[in-house]
Amino acid sequence: MLDASEGYTTEDGRKIGAVVMEMKNITLRFGGVVAIQDISFDVREGEIRAIIGPNGAGKSSMLNVISGFYNPQEGEVWYKGAKRPPMKPYQVAQQGIARTFQNIALFEGMTVLDNVMTGRIRQMKAGLISQAIWKGKAEREETENREFVEKIIDFLEIQHIRKTPVGRLPYGLKKRVELARALAAEPSILLLDEPMAGMNVEEKEDMSRFVLDVNDEFGTTIVLIEHDMGVVMDLSDRVVVMDYGKKIGDGSPDEVRNNQAVIDAYLGVAHD
Protein backbone atom coordinates (compact mmCIF):
# COMPACT_ATOMS: atom_id res chain seq x y z
CA MET A 1 0.00 0.00 0.00
CA LEU A 2 1.23 3.44 -0.81
CA ASP A 3 2.02 5.88 1.91
CA ALA A 4 -0.92 8.21 2.60
CA SER A 5 1.15 11.35 2.22
CA GLU A 6 2.50 10.81 -1.25
CA GLY A 7 0.65 10.43 -4.51
CA TYR A 8 1.52 8.85 -7.81
CA THR A 9 1.47 9.73 -11.49
CA THR A 10 -0.75 7.83 -13.91
CA GLU A 11 0.37 6.52 -17.27
CA ASP A 12 -1.22 9.43 -19.11
CA GLY A 13 0.56 11.91 -16.87
CA ARG A 14 -2.11 12.89 -14.36
CA LYS A 15 -0.91 13.68 -10.87
CA ILE A 16 -2.81 11.79 -8.21
CA GLY A 17 -2.60 13.33 -4.76
CA ALA A 18 -2.75 12.10 -1.20
CA VAL A 19 -5.53 10.04 0.34
CA VAL A 20 -8.59 12.22 0.75
CA MET A 21 -11.05 9.65 2.05
CA GLU A 22 -10.52 6.40 3.79
CA MET A 23 -13.01 3.70 4.71
CA LYS A 24 -11.80 1.66 7.67
CA ASN A 25 -13.34 -1.74 8.40
CA ILE A 26 -16.85 -0.77 7.41
CA THR A 27 -19.61 -3.21 8.30
CA LEU A 28 -23.22 -2.45 7.45
CA ARG A 29 -26.12 -4.66 8.53
CA PHE A 30 -29.83 -4.52 7.83
CA GLY A 31 -31.24 -6.63 10.65
CA GLY A 32 -29.67 -10.01 10.07
CA VAL A 33 -28.50 -9.27 6.55
CA VAL A 34 -24.90 -8.21 6.23
CA ALA A 35 -24.68 -5.87 3.27
CA ILE A 36 -21.06 -4.85 3.77
CA GLN A 37 -18.60 -6.85 5.79
CA ASP A 38 -15.36 -5.39 7.09
CA ILE A 39 -14.36 -3.41 4.04
CA SER A 40 -11.47 -0.96 3.93
CA PHE A 41 -10.20 1.10 1.06
CA ASP A 42 -9.05 4.60 0.32
CA VAL A 43 -9.69 7.27 -2.29
CA ARG A 44 -6.91 9.57 -3.43
CA GLU A 45 -7.29 13.13 -4.52
CA GLY A 46 -7.91 13.52 -8.26
CA GLU A 47 -8.27 9.85 -9.08
CA ILE A 48 -11.10 7.91 -10.65
CA ARG A 49 -11.89 5.12 -8.27
CA ALA A 50 -14.30 2.39 -9.31
CA ILE A 51 -16.29 -0.01 -7.19
CA ILE A 52 -17.38 -3.07 -9.12
CA GLY A 53 -19.01 -6.36 -8.36
CA PRO A 54 -21.90 -8.62 -9.38
CA ASN A 55 -25.50 -7.79 -8.52
CA GLY A 56 -26.17 -7.55 -4.81
CA ALA A 57 -22.50 -7.27 -3.96
CA GLY A 58 -23.15 -4.20 -1.82
CA LYS A 59 -21.79 -1.53 -4.16
CA SER A 60 -24.68 0.88 -3.82
CA SER A 61 -24.75 0.35 -0.07
CA MET A 62 -21.10 1.33 -0.01
CA LEU A 63 -21.88 4.50 -1.95
CA ASN A 64 -24.72 5.23 0.45
CA VAL A 65 -22.31 4.90 3.35
CA ILE A 66 -19.99 7.42 1.73
CA SER A 67 -22.85 9.81 1.01
CA GLY A 68 -24.12 9.53 4.60
CA PHE A 69 -27.44 7.93 3.70
CA TYR A 70 -26.52 4.83 5.76
CA ASN A 71 -24.49 4.90 8.90
CA PRO A 72 -22.43 1.72 9.29
CA GLN A 73 -22.69 -0.26 12.51
CA GLU A 74 -18.95 -0.75 12.61
CA GLY A 75 -15.99 1.00 11.12
CA GLU A 76 -14.93 4.55 10.47
CA VAL A 77 -15.04 6.98 7.58
CA TRP A 78 -12.06 9.33 7.43
CA TYR A 79 -12.42 12.41 5.28
CA LYS A 80 -9.65 14.95 4.73
CA GLY A 81 -7.63 13.61 7.61
CA ALA A 82 -10.38 13.62 10.20
CA LYS A 83 -12.74 10.94 11.39
CA ARG A 84 -16.25 11.71 10.26
CA PRO A 85 -18.99 11.47 12.89
CA PRO A 86 -22.34 9.98 11.81
CA MET A 87 -23.89 12.52 9.48
CA LYS A 88 -27.05 13.28 7.57
CA PRO A 89 -26.75 13.35 3.74
CA TYR A 90 -27.13 17.15 3.61
CA GLN A 91 -24.20 17.53 6.00
CA VAL A 92 -22.10 15.28 3.80
CA ALA A 93 -23.12 17.35 0.82
CA GLN A 94 -21.97 20.45 2.64
CA GLN A 95 -18.57 18.86 2.95
CA GLY A 96 -18.32 18.78 -0.83
CA ILE A 97 -19.51 15.31 -1.73
CA ALA A 98 -22.13 15.18 -4.51
CA ARG A 99 -23.75 12.18 -6.13
CA THR A 100 -25.94 10.85 -8.90
CA PHE A 101 -28.42 8.05 -8.49
CA GLN A 102 -28.82 4.66 -10.08
CA ASN A 103 -32.51 5.30 -10.65
CA ILE A 104 -32.53 8.86 -11.86
CA ALA A 105 -33.80 11.20 -9.15
CA LEU A 106 -34.58 14.46 -10.92
CA PHE A 107 -37.59 16.74 -10.67
CA GLU A 108 -39.50 15.53 -13.68
CA GLY A 109 -41.78 18.52 -14.05
CA MET A 110 -39.02 21.10 -13.85
CA THR A 111 -36.80 22.22 -16.72
CA VAL A 112 -33.22 21.07 -17.07
CA LEU A 113 -32.02 24.51 -16.10
CA ASP A 114 -34.07 24.55 -12.89
CA ASN A 115 -32.94 21.05 -12.02
CA VAL A 116 -29.32 21.99 -12.39
CA MET A 117 -29.91 25.19 -10.42
CA THR A 118 -31.06 23.09 -7.45
CA GLY A 119 -27.49 21.79 -7.33
CA ARG A 120 -26.42 25.31 -6.37
CA ILE A 121 -28.62 25.38 -3.27
CA ARG A 122 -25.58 25.15 -1.02
CA GLN A 123 -24.16 28.33 -2.57
CA MET A 124 -27.33 30.35 -2.07
CA LYS A 125 -27.27 32.22 1.19
CA ALA A 126 -30.03 34.79 0.72
CA GLY A 127 -32.85 34.59 3.24
CA LEU A 128 -36.49 33.82 2.61
CA ILE A 129 -37.63 37.46 2.58
CA SER A 130 -34.85 38.56 0.29
CA GLN A 131 -35.73 35.72 -2.07
CA ALA A 132 -39.39 36.64 -1.99
CA ILE A 133 -38.97 40.33 -2.82
CA TRP A 134 -36.19 39.54 -5.25
CA LYS A 135 -33.89 42.42 -4.47
CA GLY A 136 -30.25 42.83 -3.69
CA LYS A 137 -28.52 39.69 -2.56
CA ALA A 138 -31.04 37.20 -3.91
CA GLU A 139 -30.95 38.67 -7.38
CA ARG A 140 -27.16 38.93 -7.41
CA GLU A 141 -26.80 35.36 -6.23
CA GLU A 142 -29.15 34.09 -8.88
CA THR A 143 -27.09 35.78 -11.59
CA GLU A 144 -23.81 34.37 -10.29
CA ASN A 145 -25.20 30.88 -9.92
CA ARG A 146 -26.88 30.95 -13.27
CA GLU A 147 -23.55 31.83 -14.85
CA PHE A 148 -21.91 28.87 -13.18
CA VAL A 149 -24.75 26.58 -14.21
CA GLU A 150 -24.53 27.80 -17.80
CA LYS A 151 -20.86 26.84 -17.88
CA ILE A 152 -21.79 23.33 -16.80
CA ILE A 153 -24.57 23.17 -19.37
CA ASP A 154 -22.01 24.16 -21.99
CA PHE A 155 -19.50 21.65 -20.65
CA LEU A 156 -21.95 18.76 -20.83
CA GLU A 157 -23.39 19.93 -24.14
CA ILE A 158 -27.00 20.07 -23.08
CA GLN A 159 -27.75 23.59 -24.32
CA HIS A 160 -30.46 22.34 -26.63
CA ILE A 161 -32.56 20.99 -23.76
CA ARG A 162 -31.98 23.88 -21.36
CA LYS A 163 -35.66 24.80 -21.24
CA THR A 164 -37.10 21.30 -21.69
CA PRO A 165 -38.92 19.68 -18.78
CA VAL A 166 -36.85 16.71 -17.63
CA GLY A 167 -39.83 14.35 -17.88
CA ARG A 168 -39.76 14.66 -21.66
CA LEU A 169 -36.10 13.67 -22.06
CA PRO A 170 -34.77 10.30 -23.07
CA TYR A 171 -32.92 8.24 -20.52
CA GLY A 172 -29.37 8.99 -21.66
CA LEU A 173 -29.92 12.72 -21.44
CA LYS A 174 -31.52 12.46 -18.01
CA LYS A 175 -28.36 10.80 -16.80
CA ARG A 176 -26.38 13.69 -18.16
CA VAL A 177 -28.66 16.21 -16.45
CA GLU A 178 -28.13 14.37 -13.18
CA LEU A 179 -24.40 14.67 -13.66
CA ALA A 180 -24.85 18.36 -14.38
CA ARG A 181 -26.74 18.85 -11.15
CA ALA A 182 -24.08 17.04 -9.16
CA LEU A 183 -21.37 19.16 -10.81
CA ALA A 184 -23.27 22.35 -10.04
CA ALA A 185 -22.54 21.71 -6.38
CA GLU A 186 -18.80 22.11 -7.13
CA PRO A 187 -18.01 18.86 -5.34
CA SER A 188 -14.53 17.79 -4.37
CA ILE A 189 -15.69 14.18 -4.51
CA LEU A 190 -18.29 13.07 -7.04
CA LEU A 191 -20.12 9.79 -6.49
CA LEU A 192 -21.60 8.22 -9.61
CA ASP A 193 -23.97 5.30 -9.15
CA GLU A 194 -23.98 3.34 -12.39
CA PRO A 195 -23.72 6.37 -14.70
CA MET A 196 -23.84 4.16 -17.78
CA ALA A 197 -26.53 1.65 -16.88
CA GLY A 198 -29.01 1.07 -19.67
CA MET A 199 -27.14 3.11 -22.25
CA ASN A 200 -26.21 2.13 -25.77
CA VAL A 201 -22.62 2.09 -26.98
CA GLU A 202 -22.62 5.63 -28.25
CA GLU A 203 -24.19 7.06 -25.09
CA LYS A 204 -21.69 5.14 -23.00
CA GLU A 205 -18.82 6.60 -24.97
CA ASP A 206 -20.19 10.11 -24.56
CA MET A 207 -20.65 9.60 -20.84
CA SER A 208 -17.13 8.17 -20.45
CA ARG A 209 -15.72 11.19 -22.21
CA PHE A 210 -17.63 13.50 -19.87
CA VAL A 211 -16.44 11.64 -16.78
CA LEU A 212 -12.83 11.91 -17.95
CA ASP A 213 -13.27 15.56 -18.85
CA VAL A 214 -14.78 16.40 -15.47
CA ASN A 215 -11.86 14.73 -13.75
CA ASP A 216 -9.36 16.44 -16.00
CA GLU A 217 -10.89 19.89 -16.18
CA PHE A 218 -12.10 20.41 -12.61
CA GLY A 219 -9.73 18.00 -10.89
CA THR A 220 -12.75 16.34 -9.26
CA THR A 221 -12.14 13.07 -7.46
CA ILE A 222 -14.60 10.51 -8.79
CA VAL A 223 -15.92 7.37 -7.16
CA LEU A 224 -18.06 5.36 -9.53
CA ILE A 225 -20.00 2.16 -9.49
CA GLU A 226 -20.34 0.41 -12.78
CA HIS A 227 -21.40 -2.90 -14.22
CA ASP A 228 -19.77 -2.59 -17.60
CA MET A 229 -16.30 -4.02 -17.13
CA GLY A 230 -14.96 -2.49 -20.33
CA VAL A 231 -15.94 0.99 -19.25
CA VAL A 232 -14.52 0.51 -15.75
CA MET A 233 -11.20 -0.78 -16.96
CA ASP A 234 -10.81 2.10 -19.41
CA LEU A 235 -11.83 4.86 -17.08
CA SER A 236 -10.57 4.13 -13.62
CA ASP A 237 -7.19 4.44 -11.99
CA ARG A 238 -7.89 1.94 -9.24
CA VAL A 239 -10.69 -0.55 -8.73
CA VAL A 240 -12.26 -2.11 -5.65
CA VAL A 241 -14.04 -5.40 -6.32
CA MET A 242 -16.86 -6.53 -4.04
CA ASP A 243 -18.72 -9.78 -3.86
CA TYR A 244 -21.39 -10.71 -1.31
CA GLY A 245 -20.45 -7.70 0.82
CA LYS A 246 -16.77 -8.55 0.97
CA LYS A 247 -13.81 -6.98 -0.73
CA ILE A 248 -12.18 -9.54 -2.97
CA GLY A 249 -9.78 -7.31 -4.89
CA ASP A 250 -8.25 -3.85 -4.95
CA GLY A 251 -5.72 -2.37 -7.32
CA SER A 252 -5.11 -1.11 -10.81
CA PRO A 253 -7.44 -2.36 -13.57
CA ASP A 254 -4.76 -4.78 -14.76
CA GLU A 255 -4.15 -6.23 -11.32
CA VAL A 256 -7.85 -6.67 -10.80
CA ARG A 257 -8.35 -8.26 -14.19
CA ASN A 258 -5.81 -10.94 -13.40
CA ASN A 259 -7.01 -11.54 -9.87
CA GLN A 260 -8.30 -15.15 -9.60
CA ALA A 261 -10.93 -14.30 -6.97
CA VAL A 262 -12.33 -11.62 -9.26
CA ILE A 263 -12.42 -13.93 -12.25
CA ASP A 264 -14.23 -16.55 -10.16
CA ALA A 265 -16.77 -14.04 -8.90
CA TYR A 266 -17.60 -12.80 -12.39
CA LEU A 267 -17.39 -16.01 -14.36
CA GLY A 268 -18.34 -18.48 -11.65
CA VAL A 269 -16.18 -21.36 -10.41
CA ALA A 270 -16.15 -24.69 -12.19
CA HIS A 271 -17.43 -27.57 -10.06
CA ASP A 272 -14.93 -30.39 -10.32
Cβ 11 to another protein shortest distance, Å: 11
Which residues, at least 6 apart from 34, have a Cβ–Cβ distance to it below 8 Å? 27, 28, 245
Of 189, 191, 173, nearest in space to 106 by CA: 173
Q: Which of 74, 144, 154, 264 binds another protein (CB under 8 A)?
A: 154
Q: Does 104 help bind another protein (rule: CB under 8 A)?
A: no
What length does the chain have?
Answer: 272
What would the DSSP string read from start to end of 139-155? HHHHHHHHHHHHHHHHH
Report CA torsion sign: 36, 40, 43, 47: negative
Q: Which of 25, 73, 94, 159 binds another protein (CB under 8 A)?
A: 159
Of 236, 186, 258, 266, nearest in space to 41 by CA: 236
Between residue 107 and residue 146, which ones bind another protein under the rule CB under 8 A? 146
Q: Does 150 help bind another protein (rule: CB under 8 A)?
A: yes
User: CB burial class (10 A; 0-12, 13-18, 19+) of residue 181?
Assistant: buried
Yes or no: say if 116 and 152 are a contact pair by the CB < 8 Å rule. yes
Is 83 or 168 the residue whose CB approaches another protein more closely?
A: 168
Is 94 or 200 the residue whose CB approaches another protein more closely?
A: 200
Cβ 253 to another protein shortest distance, Å: 19
Q: Does 217 help bind another protein (rule: CB under 8 A)?
A: yes
Q: Which of 55, 85, 128, 147 binds another protein (CB under 8 A)?
A: 147
- Rounded to whole angstroms, how far apart are CA atoms 184 and 99? 11
Between residue 5 and residue 24, which ones bind another protein under the rule CB under 8 A? 12-14
Q: Does 157 help bind another protein (rule: CB under 8 A)?
A: yes
Binding mask 182-201 for another protein (x = CB under 8 A): -------------------x
Of 178, 266, 170, 257, nearest in space to 224 by CA: 178
Cβ 188 to another protein shortest distance, Å: 20
Cβ 115 to another protein shortest distance, Å: 15
Which residues form the interface with another protein (CB under 8 A)?
12-14, 146-147, 150-151, 153-155, 157, 159-160, 162-163, 201-202, 205, 209, 212-213, 216-217
